[in-house]
Amino acid sequence: MGVQALPYGSLIEIDRHSDVPVFKQLAKGIVLLIKDGKLKPGYQLPASRDMASMMEINRTTVVSAYEDLQVEGWLEGIARKGNFVAKQLPEIHPKSFGAAQGSGLQEDHGFYKQVAIRSAAKRVLGAHQLMINDGYPDVRLAPLDAIYDRYRFLSKRVHLHSRLLNDSAAGSVSLRNELALFLSKTRALDIGPQHVMVTHGAQLAIFVAASMTLRPGSTVIVGDLNYVLADKLFEQMGAKLVKVKVDENGMDVDEIARICKKSPPDLLYIIPHHHHPTTVTLSKERRLQLLEIIRQYRFPVIEDDYDYDYHYENAPILPLASADHRGYVIYIGSVSKTLAPSTRLGYLIAGDDFIYQASMFKRLVEIRGDVLFEESVAHLFKTGEMQRHLRKSVKLYKERRDTFCELLHSCVGDISHFSLPKGGMAVWTTFAPEYSIPDLAGRLAKNGIYMNEGSIYQYNDNVNGIRVGFASLNPDEMQQFFKALKACKE
């Protein structure tokens, strides 16, 4: 067959008992496909012989149909090439996929949930423009070549594939082993591989943990400023958010205690290290107080520790999950924050029965992850290359944090406020009301620099703040950014 063809035999119905000639039925069927948008202008139809074979009709019948359509202006015949849908059609009202006719709005069919997250209008970036993210690692530093080399090595060992594919839905056994060892050494977690589930990014880990603990009508305590995708996820599951103040010492644990006295929540979601978006860390005193509350009221906690490894001032406070929490803390972390945003890899730590049940749930939406990739990352942990990368990047990101904050203070310190973050990869910065972040983002865009316009953090009209990532910027890129930002206030 000369061209890749649609299944015309199933798209066009021919009634051989009808009084309407078969060639007319075929021509009408082709016109309907054009009107429905299934055949676009310029599309080449099958040769008459091929169409006849598909429709199980005589070739001369197809020729007659094509000739009729040419006369009516639906088709264009080109010598020695074939028949094509005309570029200028006599009349056409194609149906768009799900759009309400005439309104320009999406039609509400009512069979699906609305998932609306306030975000900026899309801006297309050129290949050499600078992007200011909200706290990502520098992909140029990540040992991705070592991962890809190991991936290629494993992919050629066909005899390993059946064994690897038999791994649990909880993830590669090798990676679960390595993560258990790494987290035990760095976070004092008393765990083994049976307590670890690997996920395609930390967001999926939050989804699984929330799905295992929430029902419609459940209550979830979150920060008044919080990781917005977690908030939206809980609300999508039918939960009610109970917001607690976040200050320079983290979430207000006294307020959590008052809420629990009235009615304990069904879940607490907390980011104790480098809170998102404000970057503050939960104080040691509040951590101890919160553990007492958890033990007393016995409610589950999702501890989102997405970038624990990036702490620059002394030793980080250990996670809640490292203390005696009676099995109520579900610990979530990210490997993506160590490597690159595009390498989606996270993990969930909990009791062995919870992990088993969670892996069975995860299997409903993802039978297994990329096992070869997980095995390749496990190899980096086993050889120590991941740990070496972490040590190097922590040292470099601390230097970048200091340089970035010095420039932030000297260039726009008179119109902004920020605190030196103790860890993480971003600085939470608020600007004077007359310098709205959408306006600043628009001005930067004219200089080829992308910065989020901040609407994702607009929980109320009083917040004119944004996370400004520093880890992914080298000194020259920082200078470029601050030169443009400084010009915005002039």
State pLDDT tens for residues 217-266. Answer: 999 999 999 999 999 999 999 999 999 999 999 999 999 999 999 999 99
pLDDT at residue 195 in the model: 96
pLDDT band at 88 (very low <50, low <70, confident <90, very high): confident
pLDDT at residue 343 in the model: 85
In a domain, 105, yes or no: no
Q: Do 368 and 289 reside in the same domain of the chain?
A: yes
Give the lowest-confidence range in 169-173, 183-187, 241-245, 279-283.
Answer: 169-173
pLDDT at residue 350 in the model: 96
pLDDT at residue 459 in the model: 60
Q: Do 375 and 231 reside in the same domain of the chain?
A: yes
State how many domains the chain has: 3
Average pLDDT of the segment spanning 460-477: 88
Share of the chain above pLDDT 70, in %: 89
In a domain, 238, yes or no: yes
Average pLDDT of the segment spanning 393-414: 96
Give the lowest-confidence range in 35-39, 112-116, 193-197, 370-374.
Answer: 112-116
Range of the domain at 177: 143-384
Give the lowest-confidence range in 306-320, 342-356, 394-408.
Answer: 306-320
Cis peptide bond prior to 277, omega within 30° of 0: yes
Q: Do 290 and 225 reside in the same domain of the chain?
A: yes
Looking at the predicted structure, is the pLDDT value of residue 103 above 60? no
Q: Do 153 and 70 reside in the same domain of the chain?
A: no
Looking at the predicted structure, is the pLDDT value of residue 162 above 80? no
Q: Out of 384, 415, 434, pick the residue that ends a domain.
A: 384
Q: Do 284 and 414 reside in the same domain of the chain?
A: no
pLDDT at residue 366 in the model: 82
Comparison of pLDDT for 252 and 341, the residue scoring more? 252
pLDDT band at 487 (very low <50, low <70, confident <90, very high): very high
Q: Cβ–Cβ contacts within 10 Å for residue 437, how many? A: 22
Looking at the predicted structure, is the pLDDT value of residue 308 above 80? yes
Q: Do 358 and 407 reside in the same domain of the chain?
A: no
pLDDT band at 277 (very low <50, low <70, confident <90, very high): very high
pLDDT at residue 455 in the model: 77
CATH number, residue 154: 3.40.640.10
pLDDT band at 167 (very low <50, low <70, confident <90, very high): low
pLDDT at residue 111 in the model: 61
Q: Do 227 and 372 reside in the same domain of the chain?
A: yes
Looking at the predicted structure, is the pLDDT value of residue 92 above 90? no
In a domain, 100, yes or no: no
Q: Out of 85, 101, 117, pick the residue that ends a domain.
A: 85
Q: Out of 368, 384, 400, pick the residue that ends a domain.
A: 384
pLDDT at residue 2 in the model: 45
For the chain, give the secondary structure using H, E and C: CCCCCCCHHHHCCCCCCCCCCHHHHHHHHHHHHHHCCCCCCCCECCCHHHHHHHHCCCHHHHHHHHHHHHHHCCEEEECCCEEEECCCCCCCCCCCCCECCCCCCECCCCCCCCCCCCCCCCCCCCCCCEEECCCCCCHHHCCHHHHHHHHHHHHCCHHHHHHHHCCCCCCCHHHHHHHHHHHHHHHCCCCCHHHEEEECCHHHHHHHHHHHHCCCCCEEEEECCCCHHHHHHHHHCCCEEEEECEECCEECHHHHHHHHHHCCCCEEEECCCCCCCCCCCCCHHHHHHHHHHHHHHCCCEEEECCCCCCECCCCCCCCHHHCCCCCCEEEEEECCCCCCCCCCCEEEECCHHHHHHHHHHHHHHCCCCCHHHHHHHHHHHHHCHHHHHHHHHHHHHHHHHHHHHHHHHHHHCCCEEECCCCECCEEEEEECCCCCHHHHHHHHHHCCEEECCCHHHCCCCCCCEEEEECCCCCHHHHHHHHHHHHHHCC
Looking at the predicted structure, is the pLDDT value of residue 97 above 60? no
Q: Do 190 and 334 reside in the same domain of the chain?
A: yes
Looking at the predicted structure, is the pLDDT value of residue 116 above 70? no
pLDDT at residue 179 in the model: 97
In a domain, 91, yes or no: no
Q: Name the average pLDDT for the chain.
A: 88
In a domain, 123, yes or no: no
Two structure tokens written together for 146 = 């070592």
Looking at the predicted structure, is the pLDDT value of residue 122 above 80? no
